[in-house]
Amino acid sequence: MAATQEKAAACCGGGAPARGAPAAVRAIAASPAGKVAMAAGDERVAASAVGGGAVIEEIATVQPTTAKASSKGYMLSQTRINWCDVLTELMPLLGGNHAGIPIMTRAQRSHPLDPLSAAEIAVAVATVRAAGRSPEERDSMRFVEVVLLEPEKNVVALADAYFFPPFQPSLLPRTKGLAVIPSRLPPRRAKLVVYNKQSNETSIWIVELSEVHAATRGGHHRGKVISSEIIPDVQPAMDAMEYAECEATVKSYPPFVEAMKRRGVDDMELVMVDAWCAGYYGDADAPSRRLGKPLIFCRTESDSPMENGYARPVEGIHVVVDMQNNTVIEFEDRKLVPLPPPDHLRNYTPGETRGGVDRSDVKPLIINQPEGPSFRINGYFVEWQKWNFRIGFTPKEGLVIHSVAYVDGSRGRRPIAHRLSFVEMVVPYGDPSEPHYRKNAFDAGEDGLGKNAHSLKKGCDCLGYIKYFDAHFTNFTGGVETIENCVCLHEEDHGILWKHQDWRTGLAEVRRSRRLTVSFICTVANYEYGFYWHFYQDGKIEAEVKLTGILSLGALMPGESRKYGTTIAPALYAPVHQHFFVARMDMAIDCKPNEAYNQVVEVNVKVESAGPHNVHNNAFYAEEKLLKSELQAMRDCDPSSVRHWIVRNPRTVNRTGQPTGYKLVPGSNCLPLALPEAKFLRRAGFLKHNLWVTQYKSDEIFPGGEFPNQNPRLHEGLPTWVKKDRSLEETDVVLWYVFGLTHIPRLEDWPDASRAYRLHAHGMSSELISVVNQWIPLTVLGKNIDLTMFSLLQPHGFFNCSPAVDVPPSSSDADVKEAESPKAMQSGLLSKL
Do 25 and 101 touch, CB atoms closer than 8 A? yes
| CA pair distance 16, 4, nearest whole angstrom | 30
pLDDT above 90 for 540:
yes
Q: What pLDDT, on a 0 to 100 scale, did the predictor assign at position 1? A: 66
- Point out the catalytic residue in the list 195, 280, 380, 527: 527
Q: What pLDDT, on a 0 to 100 scale, did the predictor assign at position 833? A: 34
In a domain? residue 269: no
Q: What pLDDT, on a 0 to 100 scale, did the predictor assign at position 9? A: 35
Q: What is the mean pLDDT of residues 643-660?
A: 97
Question: DSSP H helical segments within 95-239, as ranges?
Answer: 118-130, 135-139, 153-158
In a domain? residue 302: no
**What is the average pLDDT score of the chain?**
82
pLDDT above 60 for 358:
yes
Instruction: Give the CATH number, domain containing residue 710.
Output: 2.70.98.20
Report the percentage of the chain scoring pLDDT > 90: 66
In a domain? residue 381: yes
| CA pair distance 151, 183, nearest whole angstrom | 18
| CA pair distance 718, 703, nearest whole angstrom | 5
- State the pLDDT confidence band at 793, using cuts at 50, 70 and 90: very high
Q: How far is CA 818 from CA 55, 814, 815, in A?
A: 48, 9, 9
The phi and psi torsions of 458 (rounded to 5 degrees) equal -95, 10
Instruction: Give the CATH number, domain containing residue 202.
Output: 3.10.450.40
Structural domain boundaries enclosing 203: 118-175+184-231
Do 114 and 380 touch, CB atoms closer than 8 A? yes
| CA pair distance 82, 15, nearest whole angstrom | 7
Per-residue pLDDT reduced to its tens digit, 453-480: 999 876 677 888 999 999 999 999 999 9
Per-residue pLDDT reduced to its tens digit, 547-562: 888 999 999 999 899 9
Residue of 491, 509, 492, 489 whose CA lies nearest to 500:
509
| CA pair distance 499, 501, nearest whole angstrom | 7
In a domain? residue 818: no
pLDDT above 80 for 677:
yes
pLDDT above 90 for 592:
no
Ranking 405-419, 422-436, 644-658, 746-760 by mean pLDDT, the lowest is 746-760
DSSP designation for 706: S
In a domain? residue 112: no
pLDDT above 90 for 247:
yes
- State the pLDDT confidence band at 248, using cuts at 50, 70 and 90: very high
DSSP designation for 16: P
pLDDT above 60 for 86:
no
**Domain boundary at 212, 231, 250, which?**
231
Do 213 and 183 touch, CB atoms closer than 8 A? no
Q: What pLDDT, on a 0 to 100 scale, did the predictor assign at position 3? A: 55
CB neighbours of 42 closer than 8 A, spacing ≥ 6?
A: 12, 13, 14, 15, 80, 82
More confident residue, 273 or 170: 273
Cα angle 127-452-490, degrees, rounded to a multiple of 5: 105
| CA pair distance 661, 654, nearest whole angstrom | 9
Per-residue pLDDT reduced to its tens digit, 180-221: 777 789 999 999 999 999 999 999 999 999 755 444 444 455
Q: What pLDDT, on a 0 to 100 scale, did the predictor assign at position 221? A: 58
Strand ranges, E, within 282-334: 291-292, 295-298, 313-314, 317-322, 327-333
Q: What pLDDT, on a 0 to 100 scale, did the predictor assign at position 145? A: 97
How many other C-beta atoms lie within 10 A of the C-beta of residue 559?
6
In a domain? residue 828: no
Q: How many domains does the chain have?
A: 2
Q: What pLDDT, on a 0 to 100 scale, did the predictor assign at position 89? A: 36
Q: What is the mean pLDDT of residues 637-650?
A: 96
More confident residue, 788 or 139: 139
Q: What is the mean pLDDT of residues 272-301?
A: 95
- Point out the catalytic residue in the list 160, 343, 431, 443: 443
pLDDT above 90 for 646:
yes
**Domain boundary at 193, 214, 231, which?**
231
| CA pair distance 7, 618, nearest whole angstrom | 56
Q: What is the mean pLDDT of residues 768-780?
A: 27
Residue of 42, 53, 51, 55 whose CA lies nearest to 11:
42
More confident residue, 820 or 347: 347
Report the percentage of the chain scoring pLDDT > 70: 78
In terms of phi and psi (left: phi > 0; alpha: psi -120 to 50; beta: otherwise), the region of 666 is beta
Q: What pLDDT, on a 0 to 100 scale, did the predictor assign at position 758? A: 52
Q: What pLDDT, on a 0 to 100 scale, did the predictor assign at position 27? A: 41
Residue of 661, 658, 636, 666 whose CA lies nearest to 647:
661
pLDDT above 90 for 818:
no
Do 471 and 480 touch, CB atoms closer than 8 A? no
How many other C-beta atoms lie within 10 A of the C-beta of residue 344?
10
| CA pair distance 646, 818, nearest whole angstrom | 44
In a domain? residue 754: yes
pLDDT above 50 for 93:
no
Q: Which residues pair with 225 in a beta bridge?
A: 207
Per-residue pLDDT reduced to its tens digit, 44-67: 333 322 233 333 233 222 233 333
- State the pLDDT confidence band at 85, using cuts at 50, 70 and 90: very low
| CA pair distance 600, 547, nearest whole angstrom | 31
The verdict on whether 527 is a catalytic residue reads yes
pLDDT above 90 for 326:
yes
How many other C-beta atoms lie within 10 A of the C-beta of residue 616?
5
pLDDT above 50 for 28:
no
Q: What is the mean pLDDT of residues 778-793?
A: 40
In a domain? residue 360: no
Per-residue pLDDT reduced to its tens digit, 429-453: 999 999 999 999 999 999 999 999 9
pLDDT above 70 for 127:
yes
Per-residue pLDDT reduced to its tens digit, 373-385: 999 999 999 999 9
Strand ranges, E, within 537-576: 541-549, 554-555, 565-569, 572-575
